[in-house]
Chains A and B, each alone.
Chain A
Amino acid sequence: MRIGIDVGGTNTDAVLLDGTSVLAANKSATSADVTAGIIDTLDRLQAERSFDPAQVQAVMIGTTHFINALVEARRLAPTAALRLGLPATASLPPLVDWPERLVEAISGRSYLAHGGHEFDGRHIAELDEDELRRHAGDMVEHGVRSVAISSVFSPVSNEFELRAAEILRSELGDDVAISLSHEIGRIGLLERENATIINAALRELAASIVDGLSGAVAGHGISAPLYLSQNDGTLMDVDFARRYPVATFASGPTNSMRGAALLSGLDTCAVVDVGGTTSDVGVLTHGFPREATTEVDVAGVRTNFRMPDVLSIGIGGGSLVASGNDVVTVGPRSVGYRLTEEALVFGGKTLTATDIAVAAGRAEVGDTSAVSELDPTLVKAALARVAADIADAVERMRTSPDPLPVVAVGGGSILLPDDLPGSLAVHRPDHFAVANAIGAAIAQVGGEVDRVYAIDPGRRDAVVDEARQEAIDRAIAAGADPAAVRIVDFDEVPIPYLPGNATRIRCKAVGDLRLGEAS
């Protein structure tokens, strides 16, 4: 058995799974106290379906705590950003393009030092240990508690980041957390450095959240390992989560899509997650979300996290329905979380999309008599509007002319018909409302390589094999079952103007988590 929990900003969803079958599922309001919230959630699962805590093999949690902390600029550690690359890179020091408010929230200090590599592994400059010790002294003086280290081309050679970390640790002691950019991001210095600084600023919060989660799970008598879900839908163990909180940022949409895949039995499909205010449309290919290709701004900071490609449109269960001049509109304005006060079926005065679904007999929610007088023409037109807009969003996400099945999840998916315009069949699986917790529970573990290789003539196959093997080894090291690891993503981009067939290779391997025997 395993337990999946998704702690969102508003709701916490939890499921108890045996293999892939859902034994129990519930949804409750997220509480301010993390530990108490998880204990409460586990109690509810236990009440719904009694289980022996010793039989639980793993607990997987997806959380928005870290991204919320960044967006709200609270509970962030005083952080230093040290970059190795002088004399290059001096024109744009670390933190240069950050919002002022966020720099203040992390008491951000920026340091430049000699070091860094060229694309082919040559040194830009040698490391200057005295310079690093001077910077460390300044960090101590200013109360820095977490450090992000970046070095030019560290994805090609991590040598300088590792040596600088050693020197800083000997100067600052073990209480200061150190985050290294080559472990966090890929090629693209500013974006990788930004992600590393964010990670550094979250390290103290990560320790306290992880302790809270572990304490709650252990307090419930569960001794199984605890995992957190990452942006790409794979898992990290709690020790990893302490060190790399930034990797949990966008796990919500990914979990919901992967949960939808399991519930529907479809591994290539469009997933429409209909919430209260928006519908998020994503595409799964062979069980994994298609990634966005553009840089992602998080709280005003440019990063190159791998995030799922999601198209959001303003239609949800709380969307306002209006008519005039023979045109019926649904959304983008919404009553949001006030749905249970303002919708007609809940005794309110606002006509919402949920009222339309109830009037059409698609759902039985609240007081159905409150919508019995609605004009059937209006109801029909509003539903047609919703279907057309969602179908259009799916169409825009589609990448081939083949028909793409649509899986509808989320509380608002009652708005969708059984077939969308364009002959797209809509699958509405059981437990659709807790798809994200299920996605967390079934997540796999992965390993990734992103590096520039100089490929000698006739060596391409050997280099490609080397990159694939390294990704596989990393997945196994992260806990994947060696028998089930496979390459899910491979991308090879030649670098123009450079000799030796310099080529950037990105490769990702994933596999099912190797589950221990239940104790």
Chain B
Amino acid sequence: MSWQLDIDHLRDLARGAAILGTGGGGDPLIGRLLVEQAIREHGPVTVLDPDELDDDAFVIPTAQMGAPTVIVEKIPRGSEPVGALRALEKHLGRTADATMPIECGGINSMIPLLVAARTGLPVVDADGMGRAFPELQMETFSVYGVPGSPMAIAGEHDETVVIDTGTDNKQMEWLARGITIRLGGVAHIAEYSMTGAEVKRTAVPRTLSLGLSIGRAVREARSAHQDPVEAIRAALAPTLYSHLRVLFRGKVVDVERRTLEGFARGRARFTGFDGTSELELRFQNENLVAEVDGEVVCTVPDLICVLEADTAEPITTEGLRYGQRVTVVGISTPDLMRTPEALAVFGPACFGLDVEFDPVELRGDLVTIP
């Protein structure tokens, strides 16, 4: 059923999207404020379940790309993502019936809502990453045969660029990244246009409502003085992300970061509250692999989320600081993100990791952590 997304939903969605951001994806705060303001001016947004889409409906996803550190300083004009969508419509000679997220983790959960509020288009409750990923080709859309091209990029001076690299989504990412830097480190994009039938076949379904429900679960657990991690587990159970596993409880003892090829790569170490065991987390914008005492316990594409120990507030890789008390959880991803074709696009090897993907729920029993 379609439903109306209003200002009251946004805080919960932002919190849930930050959890699905698995350490990256950009702080949804600015995105939330943008959508709040847009809904104040234009009214609430209609969210469509993917099953409600006509097979021949035309959907243009919208997003932001660039550096999260720039977003907190150079706030968008607000018209850019709509500008990208209109530029793509013009290029294709076809108008969109709906927009959709390409990424449900972090700030990109919010950008399509901004577009929807400003244009009156509905937004489809689905996305192409099922979490956050650092690059545009890391999409279930691309895994299952929907090309990202043609893609439109817009900046705040009403400038637009259309990129068409055919079926080569990696080349599209490469060119778009260069243009984004010229535009000041942040740009807004429209890409992976597709039919309703293609959405149903290739998208990770109901990830906006997933973000909303886990964000709400955390809030309600806090106010009822219940364990918010257990609340997240309960909210996930009936979804395609059915397993949550507490990987570790402890404190941050070391964080090391460096920029390599345009990414914030690094590792963080945590020691358990009893001081005996240790978790090491490697990240590239998002969290990639967690090892407890040398044994891999969770890898990309499954979600590794570092949560503040008491409140379950998600902590981004940039926000990791010595001394923080945290709970690290692993969350299983839907089957369509774990096929050999999907792992070839965003599995551990795509991040230069020499580890096999094993579903987090099937990995051996963990040492019991108090």
Contacts and interface: CB of A to CB of B under 8 A. Distances in A.
B77 A400 contact: no
Given A88-B156, A399-B322, A503-B259, A495 B76 contact: no
A119 B68 CA distance: 12
Given A293-B324, A400-B253, A189 B67 contact: no
B349 to A, nearest CB: 21
Given A91-B34, A91-B37, A401 B271 contact: yes
Contact of B67 (A87, A293, A498): A498
B175 interface: no
Contact of B184 (A90, A119, A188, A290): A119
A504 interface: yes
Nearest to B285: A496
Interface residues of B, number: 46
Nearest to A503: B259
Contact of A118 (B185, B253, B264): B185
Contacts, number: 128
B336 to A, nearest CB: 27
B258 A91 contact: no
Nearest to A285: B323
A400 B322 CA distance: 10
Contact of B73 (A92, A152, A399, A498): A152
Secondary structure of the A side of the interface? loop
Contacts of B318: 493
Contacts of B325: 396
B177 A189 contact: no
B257 interface: yes
B225 interface: no
A499 interface: yes
A88 B77 contact: yes
B69 A122 contact: no
A478 B134 CA distance: 43
Given A96-B33, A496-B67, A496-B264, A502 B74 contact: no
B184 A501 contact: no
Contacts of B275: 401
Interface in B54-101: 65-70, 72-79
A89 interface: yes
B180 interface: yes
B181 A498 contact: yes
A91 B41 CA distance: 11
Contacts of B3: none
A126 interface: no
A498 B33 contact: no
Nearest to B68: A496
Given A293-B319, A493-B318, A504 B69 contact: yes
B220 to A, nearest CB: 21
B363 interface: no
14 contacts: A85-B75, A88-B74, A92-B33, A119-B185, A190-B30, A293-B319, A495-B69, A496-B68, A496-B259, A497-B65, A497-B67, A497-B263, A498-B262, A499-B181
